[in-house]
Amino acid sequence: MKGFDFEEQRIKKEILKLGAKRVLLQMPQGLKPQATAIAKIVETCGAVAVISADPCYGACDIVLCEAEGLGVDLIVHFGHAKMVRQSRIPTLYVETRANVSVDAAVIQALPLLNGYGRVGLATSVQHLEMLKQVKQILTDLGKTVLIGNAGQLEYAGQVIGCNYSNAKTVADQVDAFLFIGGGIFHALGIALGTSKPTIIADPYDNRAYSITDQAQRLLKQRFASIQEAVNAKNLGILVGLKPGQKHLERALWVKVLAEKNGREAFILAGRELTPETLLEFPNIDAFVNTACPRISLDTPGKFQKPILTVNEFMVICGEDSWENMLKKGLFEN
């Protein structure tokens, strides 16, 4: 299969090692068109392949309950590095490293990095292999390059949708970040999490661009959301039901804080927290989100009511200032 390494041999080996008879394949949307080809490989090992058809946005979203309900003896999860520690079902993570070259994109990025002597590097799991090479290119040009490792994720330099700790741990020592990968999702997270200029080098389109202005616009939208939520009387505290998004104790803590602050608060738990599902609660004035922080950050216009991160809600309650929160980052990690 082109573009990504699906590690077919490793999958076969694991099935045979475990003697697995029923294997659940889970992958994010972009990889799902490959699912039937992988199912065939599973079947050559004498196992039944079940493909998870539900959306999957990260390793937080591992299909544990579903696998137990289907009597599965191996989960193969594609596209993300391990995140949730669990021993309920044997799980193989296939990180689908990208088979593309990053050189052309980095060359495009060089003019955008002008004036930044100290550069932080970060990437999603698919492009970890490229970090060393990009570091070499930039070092050869006289830049100081830092790759952070806060110890929370599987790899140094890695970022995931909700965790930018590796970037944050070197943020004070760099002038800007260079993110290796496609799309704006992770780079926007770096810019929001670190408040540093952030450049994307996209090895799929062989182009580079800055995400800094977009992050600034998003911060203005966040500030407007906070203003809109200041007078909210009834709050919905959102709890994610995916294994790596479930923070009920945190939500209960937010509820107590909200009530001390003179508001009513209700705990709403969901697997997919969408604009449509939240429309069903018309008497809620604003939501505070303890599930995936990206639910509302990337698409604030789609939700009819403000959806705040816990850090943003602290600003409303007078427990923190907007400026100080920006220093900590919109996200918790």
Q: Which residue ranges make up the site for a copy of itself (CB under 8 A)?
A: 24, 29, 32-33, 35-36, 39, 48-55, 65-66, 68-71, 234, 238-239, 241, 243, 246, 248, 252, 264, 266-273, 277-278, 280-284
Q: Which CB sits closer to a copy of itself, 50 or 112?
A: 50
| 15/269 Cα distance (integer angstroms) | 35
What distances in angstroms separate CA 43 from CA 14, 17, 49, 98, one per listed residue? 13, 15, 7, 25
Beta carbon of residue 241, minimum distance to a copy of itself (angstroms, whole number): 5
Tokens coding 34: 């490959």
Report in angstroms how near the CB of residue 131 gets to a copy of itself at its nearest: 30
The single-letter DSSP state of residue 282 is T
**Residue 156 vs 252, nearer CB to a copy of itself:** 252
Cβ burial 65-99 (10 Å sphere, 16+ → b, else e): ebbeeeebbbbbbbbbbbbbeeeebbbbbbbbbbe
Smallest gap from Cβ 255 to a copy of itself, in A, equals 9
Beta bridge partners of 248: none
Q: How far is the CB of 268 from a copy of itself (least distance, A)?
A: 4
In DSSP terms, 38 is beta-bridged to none
Toward a copy of itself, which CB reaches closer, 223 or 281? 281
Give least dist CB 17 to a copy of itself, A: 23
For a copy of itself, which is the closer residue by CB, 72 or 171? 72
Q: In this complex, which beta carbon is closest to a copy of itself, that of residue 43 or of residue 319? A: 43
Element (H or E) spanning 93, and its range? strand 91-94
